[in-house]
Chain A
Amino acid sequence: MQSFFQEAVIPHFNFWIYVIIMMVGLWSVIAKNNLIKKLIGLSIFQTAILLLYVSLGVKEGATIPVLDHHALIESSHSESSEGSGKKAIAINPDHYANPLPHVLMLTAIVVGVATLGVALALTQMIYKDFGTIEEDEVLKKIKALHDDV
């Protein structure tokens, strides 16, 4: 049991956490009857995916992907004074976290909020039309409407 933890869980604990959070979200989407609770589940699901992507970009001992501005300016000045022109400044990629997942998730978060707003608007309209946001009651009322016609 301890060796299992040492080999499988601890080196990959970010994946374990993302799977657990994702399953919490999936369970509430399937099992919950209330539409708002389903939306909360969808948001939890989305958060798990954001966590997965950001954790993929983590590097041990690295800092945030914002370069040290002043050091770069000084090094470029000293280089140009030596006459080496537009020589590339040496930047060690191991010192900076992977910026790509951050970019992808940054837009995903804002778009997620906007689409959640659309979902809440639809829920409001469902409540206005049916007087309930419980899924089975909404389905019953839709069925009754069809039987009347």
Chain B
Amino acid sequence: MKAKIFASIAVAITGAVLLYAVSDFPRFGDPRSPANAGVEGGSPSASLYYIENTYRDTKVPNLVTAILADYRGYDTMFETVVILTAGMSIFAILRVLRRDDAPGAPASAPDSSDHSIDGDHHRIIVATTCRIAAPLIQIFALYVVAHGHHSPGGGFQGGVMLGASFILLALSGSLRDTLVRFSEQQYLRLAFIGILIYAGFGFLPLWVGRNFLDYGALSGLLMTSGEEMARSHSMLGVEIGVAMTVMSIMFAIFANLSTRGRLHGGL
């Protein structure tokens, strides 16, 4: 009770201070606000440069994808590394590599294979529906990754959808059956290959004496008509790398959390 009173006072004071500053902010939807147009008398906002020049520089109409994978490519690469690190942390914290449980522990349910659709007739409809839906989800996810230049989408969104399709399979059927198709070895490998693809696109321009992640230098290698198209195609490459890492780590997080690191039984 004491903690709640203290928390209420602290929250009230913090909220009051934040609300006091609200009147100094620009009004909602103002196109001339500092974030949208830059400070008056100072330099214009960076977003103006992106909106006006992205299509000329990269031939990518989706500004979000272009900024994410090209202008801020360095940032995005290490965001992906953060996701990989989170997946590795969960592996290190939870994963139990012994086959059998500790001898002192009370014997848990010997095998939850009874929860598969063969043992539980109530799950047949759900499991069959999800099994039919999963490939469609995956095709749409691939479309989101590949078409991320021209419509809302990209590697992160498509990767999360791909991971969700595997999680759906594991939830509706059984994790064991899903792991047969997408084993731990495979998803860990894919997670690292995704980062390597991204970093590879970063290192390739160094060969011809350009900067790290300067995709324009790849126009000879990718046989494109100009530097703009090379940047466009390289963005697709790094988005695929991001999608692979995100898909693998999302599924790894689910598989480890739902089974307390044993990767069998579970939900």
On A, residues with C-beta under 8 Å from B are 8, 11-16, 19-20, 22-23, 26-27, 30-31, 33, 55-60, 62, 64-69, 72, 86, 88-89, 91, 93-94, 96, 98-103, 106-107, 109-111, 113-115, 117-118, 120-122, 124-125, 128
From B31, B50, B64, contact of A60 by CB (8 A): B31
Instruction: Say yes or no: is B211 at the interface (Cβ < 8 Å to chain A).
Output: no
Most buried by B among A88, A96, A99: A99
Q: A100-B50, A107-B156, A120-B257 given. 15 additional CB < 8 A pairs?
A: A12-B22, A12-B28, A30-B3, A56-B33, A56-B36, A59-B31, A67-B54, A98-B47, A99-B63, A103-B67, A109-B156, A114-B87, A114-B249, A117-B87, A124-B260
From B4, B15, B45, B150, contact of A69 by CB (8 A): B150
One digit per residue, 1 when the CB lies within 8 angstroms of any chain A CB and 0 when it does not, for chain B 1-31 equals 0011011101100110011001101011111
A124 touches B94 (CB 8 A): yes
Q: Is the interface of A mostly helix, strand, loop or mixed?
A: helix
B56 touches A26 (CB 8 A): no
B6 touches A30 (CB 8 A): yes
How far, in angstroms, from A22 to B19 measured CA to CA in the complex? Answer: 12
A23 touches B15 (CB 8 A): yes
Instruction: Say yes or no: is B171 at the interface (Cβ < 8 Å to chain A).
Output: no
Q: Is the interface of B mostly helix, strand, loop or mixed?
A: helix
Which interface class (under 10, 10 to 19, 20 to 34, 35 or more) fits B?
35 or more
Chain B residues lying within 8 Å of A125, measured Cβ to Cβ, are: 93-94
> Would you list the 3 A-B pairs with minimal beta carbon distance, nearest first?
A114-B86, A31-B7, A11-B27
How far, in angstroms, from A64 to B4 measured CA to CA in the complex? Answer: 42
A59 touches B29 (CB 8 A): yes
How far, in angstroms, from A106 to B69 measured CA to CA in the complex? Answer: 12
From B15, B47, B75, contact of A93 by CB (8 A): B47
Chain A residues lying within 8 Å of B47, measured Cβ to Cβ, are: 57, 93, 98-100
A107 touches B75 (CB 8 A): yes
How far, in angstroms, from A121 to B260 measured CA to CA in the complex? Answer: 8
Could you list 27 A-B pairs, sorted by A, with CB under 8 Å?
A14-B28, A15-B28, A16-B19, A27-B7, A30-B7, A31-B3, A31-B4, A31-B7, A56-B36, A57-B47, A62-B31, A65-B63, A67-B54, A91-B55, A93-B51, A96-B63, A99-B51, A99-B63, A100-B47, A101-B35, A103-B72, A106-B157, A109-B156, A110-B79, A110-B156, A117-B86, A120-B257
Chain A residues lying within 8 Å of B35, measured Cβ to Cβ, are: 56-57, 98, 100-101
Of chain A, the residue at the smallest CB distance from B156 is A110
Of chain B, the residue at the smallest CB distance from A68 is B61
A66 touches B160 (CB 8 A): no
Chain A residues lying within 8 Å of B156, measured Cβ to Cβ, are: 106-107, 109-110
How far, in angstroms, from A72 to B63 measured CA to CA in the complex? Answer: 14
From B15, B25, B61, B260, contact of A67 by CB (8 A): B61
How far, in angstroms, from A58 to B114 measured CA to CA in the complex? Answer: 52
B86 touches A128 (CB 8 A): no
How far, in angstroms, from A111 to B79 measured CA to CA in the complex? Answer: 7
CB distance from B1 to the nearest CB of A (A): 10
B28 touches A11 (CB 8 A): yes
From A16, A69, A106, A121, contact of B256 by CB (8 A): A121
How far, in angstroms, from A11 to B30 measured CA to CA in the complex? Answer: 10
A107 touches B22 (CB 8 A): no
B55 touches A89 (CB 8 A): yes
Instruction: Say yes or no: is B46 at the interface (Cβ < 8 Å to chain A).
Output: yes
A66 touches B61 (CB 8 A): yes
A118 touches B61 (CB 8 A): no
B31 touches A66 (CB 8 A): no
How far, in angstroms, from A115 to B64 measured CA to CA in the complex? Answer: 23
Of chain A, the residue at the smallest CB distance from B48 is A93
